[in-house]
Structure 1
Amino acid sequence: MDLEDDTTVLTTLKSFNSFISRSENPQRLSEPSAGSGNLQSQYKRSLELLEAAERVQSKNRYLQLDQEKKQMELSHKRARFELEKAASDSARDLEVQKIEDLERERQRLEEQNNILEMRLERHNLQGDYDPVKTRVLHFKMNPTAAAKQERQQEVDTLRDEVAHLRELVRSLQGGGAAVHSQDDSSIHAASLNLRKQMESSELRNQRLKEVFQKKIQEFRTVCYVLTGYQMDITTENQYRLTSVYAEHMDDSLLFKKGSNGSMQLMETEFSKTLGEMVALHLHHQKSIPAFLSAVTLDLFSRQTTI
């Protein structure tokens, strides 16, 4: 039974109750009846129960509608939360993907940098240098210069002998055919001998140059491996030392040789960062080897702790 049916029944009962009340008034005046009073009480009780039922049912419907409204609001909030969560997860995934891409790019650039540094170090070990920053000085009395001087002396001697032989040939040509035929073989033999001597001298000179270059490169490599420093002569009486553990290519130390043979540290961008070591080992202890060892240990510790 719905609300409209309850209302109809309630209206009917009210009308019936009014009719009973009007019809019972004359009887009460003439002959009171206990049964009619009970009937009226029952109808009133029924009416009250129906009204209470109507109120309860109306309240239940209100509560049901309110519950449905709250359920819809909760569903709406849940849907919005799921949507925001999905959007947040999507943004987080994009951010994580971007971070991973940047990390891969950083690793690739770091590998390329390491490869370039290894190539540069290998070229340095092979004796290559930057002509803009490094000036190579040659000793006046080195094996190559001595070999060139010896070769030049041999060439001058051979030229003198050739000139002498030419004079001899001209004199023989003027002295007669017999003498010419007799000395022709000796002139030819002398020419072959001179040619062999020249070839031998050139070959010996080339070998001396190769041996000298090989020994110089071997000496530079041994110094680099044993001391940890590559030494280059920049200008006269100035020497640049670059550590094998240097963090940058320009991190180098520059020393200048004085007139009395002493070595003095020149100021560079790298030496400015070594104030404590300079004060302790150079100014106080006056020891360049101790200073270079301290710099090597410091650079080595930086690379091993990274």
Structure 2
Amino acid sequence: MIFSIIMPVYNAEKTLGRTIQSVLQQTIKDFEFIIVDDGSCDESYKIISQYAQEDSRVRMIYQDNAGPGIARNKGITQSGGDYIAFIDADDYWENDFLETIIRCSDDKKADLIFVDAVTEYPNGEIANYLNIKSNAGATRERMLSYQMTGKLPWGMFKVIRRDLLEKVNVQFEGYSVGEEAIFSFEVLRNARNVKFSDKVIYHYVQNSNGQHTKGNKDPWRPMVMTMKRHLKKIGEYEKYKRSLNSLALKAISIGMYRCTAYSNVIDAIKAMSNLHKEYSEEFDLKAFDKENLDIATRCVLELLNCKAYLLIYIASRLRKRKQDKLRG
């Protein structure tokens, strides 16, 4: 069997049909589709069961709610394909996704294939294109730096050879946000042959229950702290310290955005100030890799340097209002 496709599902009844169909309609038919129901309490279980009855390639696993990372880990342990691909339950593929992977895998010699993607809103409006193949000419160290901070996107935009996963022996974390960060870093760090798809084949849908709603008011901190411990454990902390500081800045930017949840402006500004102070004590926020920062984080950084928390709050509120409208 060439491919094992793994999908975690939690309360995805509205999008599940399109996602499953996009996999079953692939031009390449040699695959198994492992769907892990992560304790859904809507009609997801029923929908998956129906597809499993109708198509022998669909295998359903049920677990009590533990998060998408743990669900993917369980799917991996039950898989048997030469390559492992991932898809989320509100996303979908072009029907030549697997065919493109085979074409780009260098006659199945590639350990890791990154795929180009388009980010879109539920109404079909395009948010942006993720031109991941633009990283093809970068050095491995630069790619790893990008992967750590998410500039080379985390998530499901990769297909991995089973041999590599068995060699690395790394799993997804149990976080609600950033559960794939260390997994992605280690897979890339250990890959001998990395390839990139030559076309957009993954559709990433930003819906109202997406990553921007998960976690608490500082959702990235557990992942950032774990990444710091991991780099020290593998002896790579000094090499990637500036990139780690960039990751911390991105985490602060996300935390500042989450502070818009406070209805009282004074409470929000106090929370922002505390967040800034706590990260400053743990990371050198003046020694970072600027190339790793997106425009939004750079803007937040400039305002943080002036401790202009009120301006950050106002800008974040305006951004949130626009994003919520687009996501419906």
Q: TM-score range by the shorter chain?
A: under 0.3
Query: Looking at both structures, which has the greater relative contact order when contacts are Cα pairs under 8 Å and sequence separation is at least 6?
Result: 2
TM-score (norm 1): 0.22
TM-score (norm 2): 0.21
Question: Structure 1 or 2: larger strand share?
Answer: 2
Larger Rg: 1
Question: Structure 1 or 2: larger helix share?
Answer: 1
